[in-house]
């Protein structure tokens, strides 16, 4: 593979590539590099933070208002800890592709829960199945305590079915809107009745609440349970198309190419092997087409991690790490709704663009950042125009410039531009960088990381 292809591949399956990695891999065959990526991500390393404060709790503890309030307070702090633990994993991981796919699935099988034990377990289920069998994956998600709570399946009982999970299972997780009927939703909901969990978050079927009667679903009839419903859904080629289109947008281009999607479906259906599908994509010539290079806007998390890839940094206060995510428009573990983040051009608006362009200076040069006083970490910032609502702060971070100097010691400023930007720069940007050729490499790097072009991958 040539240098440009390698940069493109590592921007999409990860968050960039260092000169040392590039020099080591240049000239290696595409198949060898792709094989290596999957080999390094073949293992599964769960995220684990201490949740022992939930051990040995009784129902009486939860009935105690004061005790319950204290538990909720600790859990909120633990959610911030898990958020930052996840970010640190993205900063430093050998299982690069698995972690990039965990990000993808977190915005596909969207879920939120304030119980730290449940959401940590859910996040690790995404990580465990990220490159495996989509059939087993979907069934596992349907039985997760966090998902059962989030989409109201705890309230889904034989005498009073709740259709929320059944609807989102088809609309957002497997088939897409318009590929099922309202009756399919009703019958599917009956199959998922009785789904519940115990206090530790383990799945439990409440048999007295489960509907064991005959159901008619997507043209089939039988005494279906939830697993049967998922099997029937995956028999529909539309399910493979729905997943392939989402993966194409995530890894290739927001503009879908029917020819490429059909090739992906032929690989994915009917076995639904995620690894086989992605291996096909990354080995395809069209993945490396010029139209796909630099065509995607980095998500806030991708932007944070890609800066760290160039200049490693540490944010001293975990709350400030979450604040930055909030200002950029993407808080891990806190999706906006069940449909998740829309991505693409929606990442950039009048509120977020200023923060995005100042991010490198904030993280690496201790620059000030403005943010809203209104609300807490659970709310989105909507109004930057009112001075009354604005505050300024310094993000307390420590940049490892020694690591940068070591990684880029043989790179000229001009070569640094080629390493960090994947699209051609316009004349205005070129003039700006030309004027900066005589500044230190450190300051020149911050300039590059602050360009609109660095927002693309």
Three-state SS annotation for 63-121: HCHHHHHHHHHHHHHHHHHHHHHHHHHHHCCCCHHHHHHHHHHHCCCCCCCCCHHHHHH
- 204 with 184, same domain: the answer is yes
Nearest to 150 by CA among 121, 179, 128, 127: 121
Q: Which of 235, 252, 283 is the last residue of a domain?
A: 235
Q: State whether residue 439 is helix, strand or coil.
A: coil
- Domain for residue 106, yes or no? no
Give the residue ranges of DSSP H helices in 311-400: 318-328, 352-364
- 213 with 253, same domain: the answer is no
- Domain for residue 97, yes or no? no
- 414 with 345, same domain: the answer is yes
Expressed as residue numbers, the domain containing 215 is 133-235
CA 397 to chain CA centroid, Å, is: 24
Q: State whether residue 155 is helix, strand or coil.
A: helix
Beta strands in 180-227 (DSSP E): 195-197, 203-205, 215-217, 220-222
Residues 369-402: b if buried by 16+ CB within 10 A, e if exposed = bbbbeeeeeeeebeebeeeebeeeeebebebebe
Contact 199, 57 (CB under 8 A): yes
- 228 with 243, same domain: the answer is no
Q: Which of 273, 292, 311 is the last residue of a domain?
A: 292
Nearest to 22 by CA among 355, 311, 413, 419: 419
- 206 with 245, same domain: the answer is no
- 218 with 240, same domain: the answer is no
The pLDDT tens digits for 27-67 are 999 999 999 999 999 999 999 999 999 998 887 888 888 98
How many degrees, rounded to 5, is the angle at CA 147 between CA 105 and CA 382? 70
Question: Omega of the bond prior to 59 within 30 degrees of 0, cis?
Answer: no
- 266 with 368, same domain: the answer is no
- 207 with 188, same domain: the answer is yes
Q: Return the pLDDT at 387.
A: 41
How far apart (Å, rounded) are the C-alpha atoms in residues 262 and 406? 45
Upper half-sphere CA count for residue 227 (Cβ side, 13 Å): 5
How far apart (Å, rounded) are the C-alpha atoms in residues 137 and 152? 20
Length of the chain: 457
Q: State whether residue 256 is helix, strand or coil.
A: coil
- Domain for residue 412, yes or no? yes
- Domain for residue 194, yes or no? yes
Show the low-confidence residues of the chain (pLDDT under 70).
372-390, 436-437
- 148 with 199, same domain: the answer is yes
Q: Return the pLDDT at 380.
A: 36
- 370 with 419, same domain: the answer is yes
- 307 with 277, same domain: the answer is no
- Domain for residue 285, yes or no? yes
- Domain for residue 92, yes or no? no
The pairs formed by 160-168 with CB atoms below 8 angstroms and a separation of 24 or more are 161/186, 161/189, 161/190, 161/193, 161/211, 162/189, 163/188, 163/189, 165/189, 165/192, 165/195, 166/191, 166/192, 166/229, 168/338
- Domain for residue 255, yes or no? yes
Beta strands in 198-312 (DSSP E): 203-205, 215-217, 220-222
Rounded to 5 degrees, φ, ψ at 371 are -155, 170
| Domains held by the chain: number | 3
Q: Which of 235, 256, 283 is the last residue of a domain?
A: 235
- 218 with 265, same domain: the answer is no
Which H/E stretch holds residue 261? Answer: helix 258-268
- Domain for residue 57, yes or no? no
User: Which pTM value belongs to this model?
Assistant: 0.95
Q: Return the pLDDT at 435.
A: 73
């Amino acid at each position: 593979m040539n240098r440009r292809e390698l940069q493109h591949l590592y921007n999409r399956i990860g968050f960039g590539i260092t000169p040392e990695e590039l020099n080591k891999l240049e000239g290696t065959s595409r198949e060898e590099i792709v094989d290596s990526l999957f080999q390094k991500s073949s293992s599964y390393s769960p995220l684990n933070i201490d949740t022992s404060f939930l051990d040995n709790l009784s129902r009486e503890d939860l009935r105690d208002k004061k005790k319950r309030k204290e538990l909720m307070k600790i859990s909120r702090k633990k959610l911030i800890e898990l958020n930052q633990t996840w970010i640190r994993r993205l900063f430093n991981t050998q299982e690069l592709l698995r972690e990039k796919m965990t990000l993808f699935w977190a915005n596909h099988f969207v879920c939120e829960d304030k119980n730290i034990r449940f959401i940590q377990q859910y996040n690790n289920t995404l990580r465990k199945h990220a490159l495996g069998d989509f059939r087993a994956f979907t069934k596992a998600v349907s039985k997760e305590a966090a998902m059962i709570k989030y989409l109201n399946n705890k309230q889904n009982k034989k005498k009073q079915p709740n259709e929320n999970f059944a609807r989102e299972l088809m609309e957002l997780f497997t088939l897409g809107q318009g590929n099922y009927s309202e009756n399919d939703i009703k019958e599917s909901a009956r199959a998922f009745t009785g789904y519940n969990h115990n206090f530790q978050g383990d799945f439990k079927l409440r048999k007295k609440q489960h509907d064991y009667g005959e159901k008619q679903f997507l043209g089939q009839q039988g005494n279906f349970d939830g697993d049967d419903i998922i099997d029937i859904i995956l028999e529909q080629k539309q399910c493979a198309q729905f997943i392939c289109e989402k993966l194409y947008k995530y890894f290739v281009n927001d503009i879908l190419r029917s020819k490429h999607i059909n090739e992906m479906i032929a690989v994915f259906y009917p076995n639904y092997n995620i690894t086989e599908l992605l291996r096909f994509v990354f080995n395809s010539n069209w993945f490396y087409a010029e139209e796909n290079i630099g065509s995607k806007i980095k998500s806030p998390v991708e932007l944070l991690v890609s800066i760290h890839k160039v200049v490693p940094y540490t944010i001293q206060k975990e709350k400030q790490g979450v604040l930055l995510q909030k200002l950029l428009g993407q808080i891990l573990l806190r999706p906006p709704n069940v449909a998740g983040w829309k991505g693409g051009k929606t990442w950039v608006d009048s509120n977020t663009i200023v923060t995005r362009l100042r991010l490198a200076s904030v993280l690496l040069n201790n620059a000030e950042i403005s943010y809203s006083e209104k609300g807490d970490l659970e709310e989105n910032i909507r109004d930057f125009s009112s001075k009354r609502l604005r505050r300024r702060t310094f993000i307390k971070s420590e940049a490892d410039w020694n690591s940068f100097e070591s990684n880029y010691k043989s790179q000229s400023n001009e070569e640094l531009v080629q390493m960090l930007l994947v699209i051609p720069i316009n004349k205005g940007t070129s003039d700006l960088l030309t004027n900066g050729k005589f500044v230190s490499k450190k300051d020149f790097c911050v300039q590059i990381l602050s360009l609109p072009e660095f927002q693309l991958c």
